[in-house]
A and B are shown apart, each in its own frame.
Chain A
Amino acid sequence: DSGVTQTPKHLITATGQRVTLRCSPRSGDLSVYWYQQSLDQGLQFLIQYYNGEERAKGNILERFSAQQFPDLHSELNLSSLELGDSALYFCASSVTVRPYEQYFGPGTRLTVT
């Protein structure tokens, strides 16, 4: 158990819908990361927050947005969902903004039908 929690574990929704994925980092970690893992693209970095501020951005679609709240939990919002958004979404956390180690949560499996 990494100490990072993600909810929900599974999510099934229809195309065009909007969903919110939630992540609670390890106690004491200030940085949160979101990654997407699909069969064809592998594990891809989406975005990083540190202490509530966006610090790094990957190939995150405009339909996707994220935020980190004052209590340090983070949410990833996915809207206008398409079939291709079906994937595993992982959250990770670290103490610093430039870590040696990141700790990953168990992931949320999103299925868009």
Chain B
Amino acid sequence: DAKTTQPPSMDCAEGRAANLPCNHSTISGNEYVYWYRQIHSQGPQYIIHGLKNNETNEMASLIITEDRKSSTLILPHATLRDTAVYYCIVRDPRGSTLGRLYFGRGTQLTVWP
């Protein structure tokens, strides 16, 4: 699985958009970008995934650059409940590692009032 690089921490004002970057310069053609988050000591929560097109769901939007070497998770209107560690994971869902997820250190997002 490709290695990812995320800033260790970010903060955002409540109601504003939170843009969380992730670099994955060694991503291969079959690898998807996944985002999970973990609110303090709770189980991680799946947010969104994408291959090369931008994706949006009820939680967030995922913007992947054309060369696929980086991506940005966007929380359009951050709330205090979005304070969490956000993990960017790159993996091939059809690869030999099956369902295994590699979690790095992620980005601690703090949303302030």
Contact = CB atoms under 8 A, between A and B. Distances in A.
Contact of B101 (A2, A98, A102): A102
Interface stretch (B13-21, B60-68, B71-79, B90-98): B90-98
What's the dominant secondary structure at chain A's contact region?
A: strand
**In the complex, which range does the number of interface residues on chain B fall in?**
20 to 34
B64 to A, nearest CB: 15
Interface string B95-113: 0011111111100000000
Interface string B40-73: 0111111001000000000000000000000000
Contacts of A92: 43-44
**In the complex, which range does the number of interface residues on chain A fall in?**
20 to 34
Most buried by A among B38, B44, B104: B44
Interface stretch (A12-20, A41-49, A66-74, A78-86): A41-49
A24 interface: no
A101 B100 contact: no
Given A99-B93, A107-B42, A42 B99 contact: no
Given A96-B99, A98-B93, 13 more contacts: A2-B45, A4-B43, A43-B44, A44-B103, A56-B97, A58-B100, A88-B41, A99-B99, A101-B46, A101-B49, A102-B46, A105-B43, A107-B41
Interface of B: 32, 34, 38, 41-46, 49, 87, 93-94, 97-105
30 contacts: A33-B99, A33-B100, A33-B101, A35-B101, A43-B87, A43-B101, A43-B103, A45-B100, A48-B98, A48-B100, A55-B98, A56-B97, A56-B99, A58-B100, A88-B41, A90-B43, A90-B44, A92-B43, A94-B99, A97-B98, A97-B99, A98-B94, A99-B99, A100-B32, A102-B101, A104-B43, A106-B42, A107-B41, A107-B42, A107-B43
